Structure formats: structure tokens, C-alpha cells
């Protein structure tokens, strides 16, 4: 169900040259990490041809703008599917359609085999939703908030109390369970909001920017909760401004812009479409330059370049494996190699290539005409999330000393 002009990346376990990506059906690939790849199981979510237009302008009197423009999406059961895109791309509009908070102009939404347009109540029974801001009562305790949500789902007071206590323990909130919510930190509030989304044991959990505003520690706590839920069979539809978050959690990623799908695939396969990896080697200063250049020419897919007396670079097709191959090749020629490093493309590169936008943590406004995406924030680069990697490239080093 690929959109016209959609780039659909191949699913591979190792980086390779990204020339001519092979089209695949997301429903047939299963999880990117093959956690729940049984294709005999009905998909958790199928979106077909979703369209939604809104009037632009302050008073809604301007021309119509497409928030969704024939969007197709299939999410296998028991996986994490991340939706990425710049502001106004249609991420939150998509979430609202799945959550039955907005009816699309055309197309279909099927959640676990239930038609969301024909039976929205049936869909609400099997989903949980956690938005960008915690939907809680600050005057109630954490326990009271969860018990209230459980009772709204129809649980008896006793059952609601038991479920609330269980989730409080699961999300490591026991020490604060009986404190008013207004005393909670941002991370604690987000965890409690996530607990509320899990209260009815949903088949599909919709997480719209679940870690916005959290520090790295709080973000990773939420990640662990998400991983544990998916391990138990829950499906997660995730929108996020943090590229590292999608890289860490998602089995498959869909990149959208202007309401249409630009690309879909695993993080690895999408990175392969963003460009070539670069191998950098450090050799002994006494090494023969002609031999070094000749060896690198056989390893790479382009011309080697000498940076200084000891450092050389060359584009390579086989990603991080190139470093190991280089060590063996130079060893065979008798040239001493001191270090070998491969710089591979990241999701930042994918995002820039597909959308033409830099991933920016400061881009927190939305130019879409719909109020639905008003909550979207600009995608933050990987370094803004944890500071563990550069914004443009990931380093893989082989220490050969």
C-alpha cells in the first residue's frame, strides 16, 4: 500500500549499499528485531488512504490544507512502530484518527480487526492513549488518579484499586503513590500518565511524544516501560521528536511529510538509503603511500583520500564490517594499521534527506492548518536526547593495537 513516490527501504540485518531500495510490504516484514514476526497474526493497525483537510487562516477562512493525503500504514501486532516527520507533517492528526478523536474525510482505520469509523467504542475498549502532556488531576494522589481511570473503564472499586497498585509498582511509583500529583516531577507525571494508558490492558498503546521535556534518565525509564509492555505482546504506535528514541525502540519507522508517507523500514534499512559509510584508517607513518592507496581502492567504492601523513579515508559499502576487512587486508600486505573507524549514516541523515529539514530541538511550532498537529514539536537531534552520539554520524571503531 505504498504511496505514490514512497521510498520503501529493504529490511536487512547488516548495512549495505543503498542503491535501488527494494519495495516491501510492511505487513509482511514483521518486527524489525523479529520479536513478534508471526505474519499469521492479524495486524494491530491498518490505515488505508486516510485523508483530512482543514481550512487555513486564523478564522479558518483560508484555502484548504491537506493534513493527511492518502496515508497508508500497517503495524504488525506486538511491535513498536514510530512515525517521524517535521512539524505539520500529520503525525498528531494520524494519532487522533487512530484514537477515534477525529474522523478522517476518507479512508479506513482498522484496529485489531475493528473498524474505527463504524465501531469507535469497540476501538476505545482496546486502545490506550498517552499524549504530550499528562492528563491527570493535580489534587488527587497518583493512586487515586489511576483508580479513577480504571473505574471509568468499568472496573469495580476493588478491581480498580488492585490494577492501580499493580501499575504503580510496575512503573516504580510506589514511594509517591499516596502523594498529590502536583508534587510529582515531570518524569513521574509522564510515567503515571503512561500507567493510565495501560490501565485497561490495551492491545494497542498510542504514545504521542511520550518523553518530551524529560531528562535522559527520565526518558530511559519510559523506554524500559515501553519495552516491557511490548515484550508482553502489546503493540505501540509512537510519535516522537527524538530520533534516538525511534532508533532505540522502533521495530519499524515511517517518515511522513505533508500527510503522505515518504519512507518506511527498519532503522538500519532507512539509514542505508541516506548515503555511504566512510572508512578512516590510521597507518604507520613509514607505510608506502602507493600500497595504502591501492589497498583502500580494493576495499572501497570510491577513490581513497589522504588526510595527512597517517590518516586515509574511503567510501565503503559494507558499513562497520569494512573496519574488520581493512585490518585483514593491511595485515596481508604487511602494512601496520593503528586504527580503523567507520562513520555510518544516522536517522538525522535520513530525516534531512527525505524532508529537507534539519532535525531541530527548537522547532516547536506547527504551521499546519489543523489544530490536531498543534501539539507537535520539532524533531530533536540524537545528541539532544542523550549526548551519546553526534548529530550527523555514528562512529564504529575497531581498536587494532
Ordered domains of the chain (ranges, CATH): 43-139+193-265 (3.40.50.300), 276-345 (3.30.70.100)
Is residue 35 pLDDT above 50, yes or no?
A: no
Q: Are 270 and 253 in contact (CB under 8 A)?
A: yes
CA distances from 280 to 121, 318, 319 (A): 57, 14, 12
How large is the average pLDDT for residues 259-277? 84
Residue 38 — pLDDT band, cuts 50, 70, 90? low
C-alpha cell at 253: 519507522
Name the average pLDDT for the chain: 79
Is residue 392 pLDDT above 60, yes or no?
A: no
Q: How much is the pLDDT for 357?
A: 66
In the chain, pLDDT over 90 holds for what percent of residues? 42
- Between these two residues, 254 and 213, which has the higher pLDDT value? 254
Lowest mean pLDDT segment, chosen from 25-34, 59-68, 262-271? 25-34
Residue 134 — pLDDT band, cuts 50, 70, 90? low
Lowest mean pLDDT segment, chosen from 100-114, 123-137, 315-329? 315-329
Longest dimension (CA), the chain: 80
Sequence-distant (6+) residues with CB within 8 A of 240 are 82, 84, 209, 210, 211, 246, 379
| Helices 157-170 & 186-198 angle (0-180, nearest 10) | 130
Sequence-distant (6+) residues with CB within 8 A of 343 are 277, 278, 280, 393, 394, 395, 396
Q: Report the C-alpha gap between 86 and 90 in whole angstroms.
A: 9
Judge if pTM exceeds 0.85.
no
Is residue 150 pLDDT above 90, yes or no?
A: yes
How large is the average pLDDT for residues 248-276? 88
How large is the average pLDDT for residues 223-247? 92
Q: Report the C-alpha gap between 14 and 321 in whole angstroms.
A: 9
Amino acid at each position: 500500500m505504498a504511496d505514490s513516490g514512497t521510498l520503501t527501504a529493504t529490511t536487512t540485518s547488516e548495512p549495505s549499499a543503498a542503491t535501488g531500495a527494494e519495495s516491501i510490504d510492511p505487513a509482511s516484514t514483521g518486527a524489525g528485531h523479529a520479536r513478534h514476526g508471526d505474519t499469521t497474526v492479524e495486524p494491530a493497525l491498518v490505515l488505508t488512504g486516510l485523508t483530512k483537510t482543514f481550512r487555513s487562516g486564523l478564522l479558518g477562512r483560508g484555502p484548504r490544507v491537506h493534513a493527511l493525503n492518502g496515508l497508508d500504514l500497517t503495524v504488525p501486532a506486538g511491535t513498536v512502530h514510530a512515525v517521524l516527520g517535521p512539524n505539520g507533517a500529520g503525525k498528531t492528526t494520524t494519532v487522533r484518527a487512530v484514537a477515534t478523536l477525529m474522523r478522517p474525510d476518507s479512508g479506513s482505520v482498522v484496529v485489531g480487526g475493528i473498524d474505527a469509523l463504524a465501531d469507535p467504542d469497540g476501538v476505545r475498549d482496546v486502545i490506550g492513549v498517552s499524549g504530550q502532556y499528562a492528563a491527570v488531576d493535580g489534587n488527587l494522589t497518583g493512586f487515586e488518579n489511576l483508580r479513577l481511570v480504571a473505574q471509568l473503564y468499568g472496573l469495580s472499586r476493588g478491581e480498580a484499586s488492585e490494577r492501580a497498585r499493580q501499575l504503580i509498582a510496575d512503573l516504580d511509583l510506589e514511594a509517591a503513590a499516596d502523594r498529590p500529583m502536583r508534587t510529582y516531577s515531570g518524569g513521574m507525571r509522564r510515567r503515571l500518565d503512561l500507567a493510565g494508558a495501560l490501565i485497561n490492558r490495551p492491545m494497542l498503546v498510542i504514545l504521542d511524544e511520550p518523553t518530551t521535556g524529560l531528562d535522559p534518565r527520565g526518558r530511559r525509564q519510559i523506554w524500559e516501560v515501553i519495552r516491557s509492555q511490548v515484550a508482553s505482546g502489546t503493540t505501540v504506535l509512537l510519535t516522537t521528536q527524538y530520533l534516538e528514541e525511534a532508533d532505540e525502540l522502533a521495530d519499524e519507522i515511517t517518515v511522513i511529510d505533508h500527510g503522505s508517507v515518504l519512507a518506511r523500514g527498519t532503522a538500519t534499512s532507512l539509514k542505508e538509503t541516506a548515503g555511504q559509510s566512510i572508512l578512516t584508517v590510521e597507518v604507520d607513518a613509514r607505510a608506502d603511500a602507493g600500497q595504502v592507496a591501492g589497498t583502500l581502492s580494493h576495499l572501497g567504492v570510491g577513490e581513497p583520500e589522504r588526510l595527512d601523513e597517517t590518516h586515509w579515508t574511503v567510501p565503503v559499502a559494507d558499513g562497520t564490517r569494512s573496519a574488520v576487512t581493512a585490518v585483514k587486508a593491511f595485515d596481508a600486505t604487511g602494512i601496520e594499521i593503528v586504527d580503523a573507524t567507520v562513520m555510518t549514516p544516522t536517522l538525522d541523515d535520513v530525516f534531512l534527506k527525505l524532508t529537507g529539514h534539519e532535525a531541530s530541538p527548537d522547532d516547536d511550532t506547527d504551521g499546519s492548518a489543523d489544530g490536531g498537529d498543534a501539539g507537535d514539536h520539532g524533531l530533536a537531534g540524537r545528541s539532544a536526547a542523550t549526548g551519546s552520539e553526534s548529530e550527523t554520524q555514528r562512529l564504529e571503531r575497531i581498536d587494532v593495537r
